[in-house]
Structure 1
Amino acid sequence: MDSGWQRNILENGGKVGESDELRVGMEVSNETEAYELYNTYAFEKGFSIRKGTVRRDAQNNVRQRDYFCSKEGFPLDEEMGEVKKVRRLDTRTGCKAMIRFTVDNGKWKIAQFNPVHNHEFAKPEERQFLRSSRHIPTVRAAIIGSKVDVSVRPTKSQSHLEKEMGSTDNAGHNCLHRMKEGMIEGADGQSLLDYLKHQQMEDSNFFYSVQVDQYNRVTNFFWRDSRSKLDYDCFGDVVLFDTTFRTQKYNLICAPFVGVDHHWKNVLFGCAFLSDERTDSFTWLFETFLESMGNKRPKTIFTDEDNAMEKAIEIILPGTHHRLCTWNISKNASQYLASHLANPEFKECFNKCFHDCVTEAEFEATWDDMVKKFNLENNLWLKKLYLLREKWCPTFSSDTFTANIGCDQRGENINTTFHQISTKTMDLIGLAQHYEKKTKVLRSAEAEEDFRCKNGMPRLKVNTGIFKHAAAEYTIKMYSFFENELLSTFGVRMMEVGNDGNQYVYEAIEEGHQRVYTIQYNSTTSMICCSCKLFESMGVLCRHALKVLDLKNFMSIPAQYIVKRWTRGAKKQNVMSGGLCELSCKRAKSAQSLRLSELTHEGNNVFSIGSLCDSGTRIVKQKLVEAMKLLESDTETTSMLGTLNK
C-alpha cells in the first residue's frame, strides 16, 4: 500500500512540486522510503545523493540517518604509491545540502533539511546520468504503471517516462515490455517522401533530398536533421564516408557521413542510400551534402578505395584531402595476405608501413625490404596498394589534420553501429528509422560525456602548471590523451643544436629509440613545430614540443595550441570561420540555413543559462520580446517576410 507522500506524487504527475517541497516534520515508514523520498526530490531538482552518517542505539537499531548531496565534501588526497585501477573524476564541491531523518517508534521523520546547493543543477535531459537516479525508483515505476491500461501501448508509457526524465534509458525499458516498432507497408518513393516531409515539419532545419527515376522509384536519397548541421559546424573538419554496408531487402548502399566529436566519439552528420556506385550518384550525393551544410567543405575525407568515388571527390571537393580508411585496408589485407599475416615478422613490417614511418625515405626502404624478404613482388593487391600509398600512409600527409578518424578502432565502431542494416529486412522508412535510433544512441553517449565534463575534473597525477591548465580546457578523453604525451616528456632527451637569438632548434630522442626529432621554437611568438607533426594531424601538442615548453618554464599551454574542437566548450558560441561574406554559396536557401544554424548555436547557449533559475528565464523572455519588436521595425526583415508569405 502506498504511503501518503507516494500518493501525493502520483496525484501530481510524479513531481515534487512547490506545494510538496520537503519540510521538517514529514514522515515515512522505513529507510527505503526515506531514501526514495530524498532521491525522487533530488531527481526532480537535478542533483544526485549519497548515504551519509548513521547512528544506532544500544540495541543496534537506527536512530538517525543522514543523506547528502553527492557533491558534499572534498576528495581526500591519495596515498603515495597507491595504484588505482579506475581513476574517478573529482566531482565534489563542498556542497552543504543534506537531509536528516530521526527514527522514533518505527517512523522516519525529517528532523533537519538544507536545500541550498553551491553548484549548478543537471538539466532535464541530463538527469538520466545522475548516479543515484540510474535505476527508476518505486515512485516512478508506479507513475508508469498508473499510465498503462489495456488501451495504452507500452510505447505510450515510455513516452511519458521520456517527458519525466528528459530521455530514455535502460532503466526505463526495464519497467516496460519491449515492443517492435511497426513497419510501414508499401514503402515506395511517395511514402518515403511523406515520411521525410513529416520529419521536416517536426524539425524546421531538417534537410532531405531524393532522386527518383521515370517510374517514380527511389534511386538515391540523403537526409540530415538540424542537430547534425550543428555538429558538422563544430566537428566537420574531418569526415569518414563509409559505403561498406548494403541493405538486405533493396541492396541499397548505406552510406553514413561520420565525424569525431570533442570526446573522440563518433558523431553522425547525415546518411544516404544509393542504388549504385557510379560517379554520377556520388557527385549528386556530395553536392547535396555540401548544400545541406552551407557549402562548408571538410579538410579531410576518408573513404574506401573506389575509382568512381575518387572522381566525384575531385569534382565536388577539390580542396579536400582524400584519404583511405585503414580499417577497410586491414580487412582486405586479411583476404589477400592471410598466410603472411600469420607471420609475426611480416606483420611487424606491414604495420610499420602504416603507422611508424616518419619520412618518405623510411617508408620506401621498409616497403622494399618487406616485398623482397617475403617474395611478394608479384602480389597484385600489394602493387595496387603501393600506387595508392599517398592516400593511406601518414608519412605522405603528416601536415593534414585527420583527428585519427581513419583508425582501425573507429572503423570497427561504425561497423558495430550499422551492421544490422545488412542483416535485417527493412523497407525504406524502416531503414531511416533504424538510422534515427542509432543516432539517438550516439547522442546519448555524447550527452553523458558532456555531463561528466560539466560535473567533474580528472584526478591529476601532477596538480600544477600545464597539467591543471589542460584539465580545465580539454574534455576528459582528450585530457587523458594529452596527459600521456605530457608524462612521456620524462623519457625524452633534448639537445639544443641552433640559436639565433629568438629562434631555437632542438633535437629530441625518446628513451629506448634511435629516431631523432627536430623541434623549432620562436621565443618571441611562442610558436613551436616538431617534425613528428602530431599537432598538425591531431591538434594536440606532442611530447617533444612539450619538453621544450617545460625547458622554457611554461606553466600553461600557449593559446594558439589549444584547438577548440577538443575543448569542453567546443560547441559554445560556434561561428563558422570566415563569416558569411566569404561563403561560396550562391543559393539564398543555403545562406539562410547557415544564418539559422548560427542563431541556433547562440540561442541554445542563452536558453540553457537562462533556464537555470526563474530570474534568468524572465530576462530571456523580456529580451526576446524586445528582439521581436526590433525585427518588426526592420525594413529588410519585414520585406523578406512579406515575400515568403506571398
Structure 2
Amino acid sequence: MIVNRVENIDEDLLGRVVSTEEEAYNLYNNYATRVGFSVRKGQKRYNTKKVLRQFSYLCSKEGFRLDSDPSELSKVSKLETRTGCKASIRFAFQDEDDTWKVSYFVPEHNHELAKPEERQFLRSNRKVSDSNLGVIKTMVGAGIRTTNTYSYLAEEVGGSQNVGFTKRDCYNVVNKEKMAMIEAGDAQSLMNLFKRKQAEDPMFFYTVQVDQENRMTNFFWRDGRSRIDYDCFGDVVVFDTTYRTNRYNMICAPFVGVNHHWKNVLFGCAFLLDEKTDSFIWLFETFLESMGGQKPKTIFTDQCQAMANGIQNVFPGVCHRLCSWHISQNAARNLGSHYGNQEFNHMFNKCLQGYCETELEFQSIWDDLLAKFNLTGNPWLMTLYNLRAKWCPLFSRHIFTARIKSSQRSESTNNVFHQMSTKTMSLTQFVHHYDKQAEKMRSSELEESFRCNQGLPSRIAKSSGILNHAATVYTRKIFKLFEKEFVDSLAVMMHEVGSDGTIHSFELNEEGHSRVYLVQLNSFNHTISCSCKMFESMGLLCRHALRVLNVKCWSQIPKQYILKRWTKDAKKELEANEHGELLRVNGKSSVTLRRNALMRTTYDVLSKAAETKATTRIAVKKLREMEELIEKEMIKSKGEVNQKTSDNVVDCNASGCTFDETPVLNPPCVRPKGISNARLKSAMEKRRKRTSKDTVSSSMKVPCLVLLFTISYY
C-alpha cells in the first residue's frame, strides 16, 4: 500500500476550532484543494436527545464500493475510484463555548494526489458560485451558447483552471435551470408562467384548450404591448402555420403585422395540435376576443381550406388574401414543365402580381394563358381561378392591404424563431424565447422612432413643399417610399380632360408606357382620387395624384391623405394613455436588474484597480470588507423574513383554500423521427432538394408524418 504524506503542505488541522458545519466543511475542503484530493461527507453521531455531537469528512477515495449484481448491466461504464484511503477529519461539539473542534485528523493518503494543474477537476473543489450562476443565466438567456459562456468566464479569470468548475458543470447548471422551469410539468409550468405574467401585466391575455384527459391541445397568448400595437397597426394581419418548433410537434401560429417603420410587429402567438376547422375557429374567436372585437381589414394566409373556413366563420366581411409565394410553389408542383417556360411565367405572374388594371384585362390574359399552353380544364388552375379574388391584387385594390403580396412577413418571423429554438424545446422555454424576440423587435422599433425624431434628411431639410411636409410627418422608411413616388411623378405626362369649376379631371401616363390613369381633383373639399387605387390599398398618394398636386402648386399633402399608421405619431396617443402606464413595468426580476446595474457600476472601477499591484490590493481589501458587510445584512434580512413569514402563516384548510385544482397535462408527444423544426416545405422544394443530393450520392427516404388526432373542449 502506498502511503502518501503531504510534504508540501505543512499544516496540522488537529485542534482547530470552527463555529458551524459549513465553516468546518470549508476548512477541510480548502485544505483538500491545496493538497490535491476531493472530500465527501462521513457519518454523523447524535446523543440520546438526537442532538448532533460529532461529524466527519473523508477523502473521496475512502472505502470500497459494494460488488454489484453481474446480471444488472450498467448503461455507463464507470471508473473504480475507491482505494480504501484512511485520510479523514472529525469534529466534536464543545459544550463550554458552543463550537466544533477537530478531535481526529489523518493526513496520510494511499493514492496519488492531484497535481496543481489538475486540482480544478476535483469534485469538491468544483462549485458554481452565485455570481457565476447569475452571469451564466444572463448570458444563456441572451441567446449565447453555453460553451461560449464558459469561454467568457475563463477569459475573465485568466484561464479555465481559475473558473472553479468545468465546462460540463456549466452545462449541468444550464440544464438544471431548464428542468426547474418545467418542474411542475411543461403544460402546468406554462400555465403558471401565464398566471404570473397576468399578475404583472393586467393587459396580458391567454387562453388554453384541453382535451377530455385534461391534456393541453391548443393555446394562445399575447401581452399588453401587443394589444396596443394591434390598436395601431391591426388593419393588416399575416397569419402563418407552416412552422413547428417544439418537442410535441405542435404548430406554431404567430399573428404578425407591419408597423409604421415597415417592420414586423407581433400581435400574439398560438400553438395548435392540428389544422382542423374547429381549431382555427377557436383560435380566431380567441384572437378577436383578446383584441376587444376589433377585426382587421385584411388577413393573409396560405392556401388551407380549414383556415379559410375559420376566417369565413369568424371574420365575415374581412378581406382574405392568399400568399402569392405559396401559390407560386404550388404552381411549380401542379403545372410541371409549363412553369419552367419563360413566356408562361410572364403571363402567369402578370395575373398573380396584379399587373392587370381591369378585370377585363385579367380575363383576357388568363384566357390567352389557357389557350396558348393547352391548359383548359386543368383542375388546379380551375380551382385557382375560382379563388382569384383572394390572390390577385386587382380584386382588392379598394381595400387596405399595405400592398403585402405574401405571408413571408410571418415566415421571416418564423425564421427568427428557428434560429433561437430547437425541436426538443419545451413550450415554456419557447414562450420565454418569444418574449425575448418581441423585446428585440420593440427595441428596434424604439431606436427607429428615436432616429425619426432627431431631424429630417439633409437633402430635404432646406427644401419646402410637399416633399418637406412628407418628411416631417412620415417615418423614415415610409418617407423613402413616398419620395420614390414623388420623384417618379416628375416623369408622368398629364393633361386636363375636363373641369366644371370645382372638379377637375386629368389623364396621365408614365413615360414609356401606354397605360392611361384617370385622376380627379376636387378643389373645394381638397379630395383627390386615382384609378390606380394606391392610396386605398397602401395609404400613400400615388405618383399620378402627386403629379397633379405638384402642378397645381400644392405645398402640403391634404390632411385626409395622411394615414396616421404611417406617421411618426402613430402610437403617440395610445402609449400615453393608462395602458401605456401599465406597460412601463418591466417584467424582469428585480434581482436581475440590480445585479446588472452593479456589474455596470463596478466594471470600470475594477478595470482601473487591475492596472497596478497597489490598486489591486486596495480593491481586494475593500471587496472583502464589502462581502462581510453584505453577508451580515443578508443574515439579518433573512431572519426578518423568516419572522414575518412565521407571523403570517395561514391554515389553508381552515381558510377555505383547496388544492383540488387539476393540473394541466402535457400535449401528446408524437414527434416522428425525421421531422425538422424548420418551415414545412412543399413537395416541389423537397423534390428539388432530393435531386440535388442524388447528383452526389443516393438519398435516404424520410418517414411519413404521423397523423395527429385529438378531441378538444372548452
Which interval holds the TM-score relative to the shorter structure?
0.5 to 0.7
1:566 aligns with 2:566: yes
Correspondences of 1:198-209 after superposition (within 5 Å): 198-209=196-207
Shift of 1:370: 1.8
In the alignment, which residue of structure 2 is the partner of 1:388? 387
Cα 1:182/1:603, change in 2 over 3 Å: closer
Structure 1, 373-382 or 559-568: larger mean CA deviation = 373-382
User: Per-residue deviation at 1:220?
Assistant: 0.7
In 1, distance between residues paired with 2:438 and 2:473?
27
Partner of 2:497: 497
- Assess if the C-alpha contact under 8 Å between 1:247 and 1:421 holds in 2: no
1:242 equivalent in structure 2: 240
Which residue of the partner structure matches residue 529 of structure 2? Answer: 529
8 Å CA contact 1:158–1:173 kept in 2: the answer is no
| 2:178 counterpart (182, 194, 198) | 182
The letter for the 1-side match of 2:191 is: L
| Contact 1:259/1:269 (<8 A) preserved | yes
Which AA in structure 1 matches 2:468?
K
Task: Describe how 1:33-52 pairs up with structure 2 within 5 A.
Answer: none
2:312 to 311, 314, 322: 314
Partner residue in 2 for 1:599: 578
TM-aligned CA distance change 1:564 to 1:382, over 3 Å? same
User: d(CA) in 1 for partners of 2:459 and 2:151?
Assistant: 40
Please show how residues 107-118 of structure 1 align to structure 2 within 5 Å.
none
Counterpart Cα distance in 2 of 1:187 and 1:378: 54
CA–CA distance in 2 between the matches of 1:531 and 1:430? Answer: 50
Q: Work out the CA distance in 2 between the residues paired with 1:210 and 1:362.
A: 48
Q: Is the contact made by 2:136 and 2:149 (CA closer than 8 Å) also made in structure 1?
A: no
Q: Give me the identity figure in percent.
A: 53
Could you tell me which residue of structure 1 aligns to residue 371 of structure 2?
372
**Structure 1 residue 362 displacement after superposition:** 1.0
Q: Aligned equivalents of 1:407 and 1:460: distance in 2? A: 34
1:252-331 pair list within 5 angstroms = 252-331=250-329
**Offset from partner CA, 1:104-153 (integer Å, 9 cap, x none):** xxxxxxxxxxxxxxxxxxxxxxxxxxxxxxxxxxxxxxxxxxxx984324
Match of 2:341 among 330, 340, 343: 343
The letter for the 2-side match of 1:325 is: C
2:296 counterpart SS class: coil
- In structure 2, the residue matched to 1:417 is 416
One-letter code aligned to 2:406: C
SS for the counterpart of 1:513 is coil
1:193 maps to what in 2?
A: 191
Q: Deviations over 1:31-50 (max 9, x none)?
A: xxxxxxxxxxxxxxxxxxxx
What is the distance in 2 between the residues matched to 1:313 and 1:320?
8
**Structure-2 separation of matches of 1:373 and 1:415:** 39
Q: Which residue of 1 aligns with 2:705?
A: none
Q: How big is the shift at 1:521?
A: 0.8
In structure 2, the residue matched to 1:480 is: 480
Shift of the 273–411 alpha-carbon distance from structure 1 to 2, 3 Å rule, reads closer
Asked if structure 2 preserves the Cα contact closer than 8 Å seen for 1:460 and 1:467, the reply is: no
What is the CA–CA distance in structure 2 between the aligned matches of 1:159 and 1:516, rounded to whole Å?
60
Q: What does residue 21 of structure 1 align with?
A: none
* Cα deviation, residue 252, structure 1: 1.3
What's 1:152 paired with? 131
Provide closer, same or farther for how the CA distance between residues 202 and 411 of structure 1 changes in structure 2, counting only shifts above 3 A. Answer: closer
After superposition, the Cα gap between the structure-2 partners of 1:175 and 1:466, relative to the gap in structure 1 and judged at 3 Å, is farther
Instruction: Write the deviation string for residues 408-439 of structure 1: whole angstroms up to 9, x where unpaired.
Output: 65355234234459952222212322322322
Residue 241 of structure 1: how far off its partner (Å): 1.1
Aligned to 1:43: none
Distance in 1 between residues matched to 2:326 and 2:432, nearest whole Å: 26
Structure 1 position 379, deviation (Å): 3.4
Distance of aligned partners of 1:499 and 1:334 in 2 relative to their CA distance in 1, 3 Å threshold: same
C-alpha separation between the residues in 2 aligned to 1:412 and 1:289?
Answer: 19
TM superposition score normalised by structure 1: 0.62
Gaps of 5+ in 2: 1-126, 154-169, 585-714
Contact kept? 1:283, 1:312, Cα under 8 Å:
yes
Q: Which moved more, 1:193-202 or 1:219-228?
A: 193-202
The amino acid across from 1:317 in the alignment is: F
Question: TM-score of the superposition, structure 2-length normalised?
Answer: 0.56
In the TM superposition, what is the alpha-carbon distance from 1:193 to its structure 2 partner? Answer: 1.0
Shift of 1:250: 1.4
| Structure 1 spans left out of the alignment, 5+ residues | 1-147, 576-596, 606-646
Q: Which residue of 1 aligns with 2:691?
A: none
Distance 1:443 1:316, change over 3 A: same
Pair 1:352–1:154, CA change in 2 (3 A): farther
1:120-159 matched pairs, under 5 angstroms: 150-153=129-132, 155-156=134-135
1:454 Cα deviation (Å)? 2.1
Q: Distance in 2 between matches of 1:333 and 1:476?
A: 37
Secondary structure of the corresponding residue to residue 493 of structure 2: strand
Residue 386 of structure 1, CA deviation: 1.1
Name the CA distance, whole Å, in 2 between partners of 1:219 and 1:294: 24
The count of residues paired between Structure 1 and Structure 2 equals 433
Q: State the alpha-carbon separation in 2 of the partners of residues 220 and 286 from structure 1.
A: 12
TM-fit CA distance, 1:154? 5.9
Q: Please list the CA deviations of residues 283-308 of structure 1 after superposition, one character each: whole Å capped at 9, or x if unmatched.
A: 11111111111111111111112222
Larger relative contact order (Cα-Cα within 8 Å, sequence gap ≥ 6): 2
Q: Please say which structure displays the higher CA radius of gyration.
A: 2
- 5 Å-filtered alignment, 1:90-105, equals none
CA deviation map 1:45-100 (0-9, x unaligned): xxxxxxxxxxxxxxxxxxxxxxxxxxxxxxxxxxxxxxxxxxxxxxxxxxxxxxxx
Tell me by how many angstroms 1:508 deviates: 0.7
1:405 maps to which residue? 404
**Alignment-derived partner of residue 547 in structure 2:** 547
CA contact (8 A) 2:256 2:410 kept: no
Q: 1:433 to 1:335 in 2, by over 3 A?
A: farther
In structure 1, the residue matched to 2:510 is: 510
Give a deviation string over 1:448-488, Cα, whole Å, max 9, x none. 21122122422336822111110010000000000000001
CA separation in 2, counterparts of 1:466 and 1:363?
A: 35
Aligned residues: CA RMSD: 3.2
Q: Distance in 2 between matches of 1:468 and 1:282?
A: 46
